[in-house]
Homo-oligomer: A and B are copies of this chain.
Amino acid sequence: MNYTDSNGLPDSISIAEYLFHRLKQLHIETIFGLPGAFNATLLDKLNEIPGLRWAGNTNELNAAYAADGYSRLKGLGCIITTFGVGELSAINGVAGSFAEHVGLLHVVGMPPTSAQTKQLLLHHTLGNGDYKVFHRMASEVTCYSTVINDKDLCGDEVDDCIAKAWTLQKPVYMGIPVNLVDTSVNSQRLNTALNLNLPSNDEQTENELVKQILQQLYKSKNPVIIADACVTRHRIVPETVELCQRTNFPIFATPMSKGAIDETLPNFGGVFMGSISSPEVREVVNFADFLIVIGCMLSDFSTSSFHFNYKTKECVLLYPTSVKFKHAIYPDLRIKSLMANLLRNLNESKIKYQSQPTPQMIIPRSELPSRHSLRHEWVWNQMSHWFQEGDIIITETGTSAFGINQTHFPHSSRGISQALWGSVGYTLGACLGASFAANEMARDQVTAVPHRVILFVGDGAFQLTVQEVSTMIRWGLTPYIFVMNNQGYSVDRFLHHRSNASYYDIQTWEYLRLIPLFGARHYETRKIVTVGDFLEMIHDPLFATNDKIRMLEIMLPPMDVPQALMDRWLTEQENKKRAAEESDGYTPNSEASSKKFCSDDISPAN
């Protein structure tokens, strides 16, 4: 039975209903945002579609973060905001999706066309009759933006917007004037699947490049594969894993792709973070004679990656829609087709590489007295042992973003972080979105195991977006929220010459009391102060089952940081010293770099 029949749709439906059915066909079933005067009629339509739900966020920025988190697991997120105030509140979240290659559809309920034409003064305008200003602003952080205005073409326009957000994995902006919400569309359109095909690559170019890559691949003696963030965003994880398995090449993640590649693969070697990688990882990657970087996220060719350069000169960088091979740039090559071609033509027998042992992540199981207070280094190692298959692990910009890279992710677990955009507070929203997605994936049995959603967020970051915990409770979602309480913005404090400036302090909250305050009935909270508290928690088998929302406050000393952050700090001091000697005199941390580093400085009191 076709879609319209099985959903009992009449021949003519409104453009709003059409939009929501299109999303439903892609299994995008939770829509984020807040109601407002100009989007209420859209929400009325949404409410009528069985199987879709309106999350009802607590503010628009959180809604955008949530849609982003949802998209990272389901391929597309959708937010609906109201004109002006709503859309601008969300724009930082949209920009984050743009920076990090996350597919997002931002639907904005707009004033009626007539008001726009007559430049009427309405609520949520700047009072100057300019109704295009917010659209112009949105166009700076979206890959495509449009305002629905042609009644005959609006079906095509909706298809186009969704397809672009899905395939390009960037935000798309679509304004719908309130008077056009009811514009009728022939529902039969829904019986033809949305065209989500990418344009084909030029065959000759693709073949030529594949041949060259294979030549290099066959002859290299110390090759390395690096899977970057776009392997998930552009859906080439299976191809990447196949390449790794058929070549037996060692494979590494980056901080942005942690969790994208199954870490139980025998040749998975850990996370490459340039100079702050573990010595074993650094050795293998830096001394590779051929680097295959798949799913590069950054579109700048001058730097090969974020925070670090690949030392290897023989390098192929596979971006979503282009390739850099050695010194040549191949624009307009889409990665999915290219990878398929590569795998089709790969002949394992020609590979010279002699399999060598890949660095293994050995997570120490150090024993400490129960009464000891907690330290990052120990906590992250313990966490690593607590993770289980299917976990969705979210880490906030801050100490957690560094700590997580020293953990080992089990089979079919996933990681979410915002390593490039780094908007503090992002993860509480993303955790909501991921929890909705995990729910739906479990129901649909997309993967073999159910998913626990586990968030690590600093106390400082937590305060920015705290109210979204309420939405999790409202929907009975069951994430683990680990609030890493180190009394302020520790990562900034640490990197800004380990300053004790008062502007890094935050107000002390009783975090755990928020859960009942926000209306939770079935929940668990724990304040974890000592090693004993921590061990009791992770050894409790009941604790491992995500049957309720949990908030865990992990008490950590303010100046204690994971090793990777310490390493980055040391590296930056070196770089700054050098930069100060050369360039334009930018030495903000000169005070620190001239101060001898002394590891005692960060010893805890106990």
Contacts and interface: CB of A to CB of B under 8 A. Distances in A.
Given A58-B463, A113-B584, A422 B85 contact: yes
A59 B425 contact: yes
A127 B300 contact: yes
Given A470-B507, A503-B47, A584-B179, A420 B129 contact: no
A126 interface: yes
Contacts of A113: 584, 586
A36 B85 contact: no
Contact of A88 (B95, B492, B504): B95
Interface stretch (A38-46, A188-196, A378-386, A439-447): A38-46
Interface stretch (A4-12, A135-143, A270-278): A135-143
B519 A423 contact: no
Interface residues on A, range: 35 or more
Interface stretch (A240-248, A348-356, A449-457, A508-516): A508-516
Contact of A40 (B89, B464, B496): B496
Nearest to A504: B35
A421 interface: yes
Contact of A36 (B126, B133, B492): B492
A121 interface: yes
A299 interface: yes
Each complex incorporates copies of this chain amounting to 2
A530 interface: no
A121 B297 CA distance: 11
Given A84-B95, A95-B88, A179-B586, A466 B463 contact: no
Nearest to A101: B127
Contact of A422 (B43, B88, B124, B584): B124
A501 interface: yes
Contacts of A467: 463-464, 466-467
Interface string A457-468: 000000111110
Given A84-B95, A120-B303, A297 B179 contact: no
Contacts of A516: 510
A586 B128 contact: no
A81 to B, nearest CB: 10
Contact of A492 (B35, B513, B517): B35
B178 A112 contact: no
A518 B509 contact: yes
Chain A contact surface mostly = loop
A508 B505 CA distance: 30
Contacts of A126: 95, 98-99, 141, 421
A204 interface: no
A584 B115 CA distance: 11
Contacts of A584: 112-114, 179
A51 interface: no
Interface in A412-429: 420-425
Given A91-B92, A114-B584, 19 more contacts: A37-B492, A40-B501, A47-B501, A58-B464, A59-B61, A59-B464, A85-B92, A85-B422, A85-B423, A85-B424, A89-B423, A99-B125, A99-B126, A99-B127, A114-B586, A128-B298, A470-B507, A473-B507, A507-B519
Interface of A: 34-37, 40-41, 43-44, 47, 54, 56, 58-59, 61, 84-85, 88-89, 91-92, 95-96, 98-100, 112-114, 118-121, 123-129, 133, 136-137, 140-141, 178-179, 181, 297-300, 302-303, 306, 420-425, 463-467, 470-471, 473-474, 489, 492, 495-496, 499, 501-510, 513-514, 516-519, 583-586, 588
Leading 10 A-B pairs by shortest Cβ distance: A179-B586, A88-B92, A85-B423, A59-B464, A474-B507, A112-B586, A89-B92, A40-B496, A99-B126, A127-B298
24 contacts: A34-B424, A56-B503, A58-B464, A59-B425, A61-B61, A85-B95, A85-B421, A88-B92, A95-B126, A118-B302, A121-B303, A121-B420, A123-B422, A124-B423, A125-B420, A128-B299, A137-B140, A179-B586, A466-B466, A467-B467, A470-B507, A473-B507, A509-B518, A514-B517
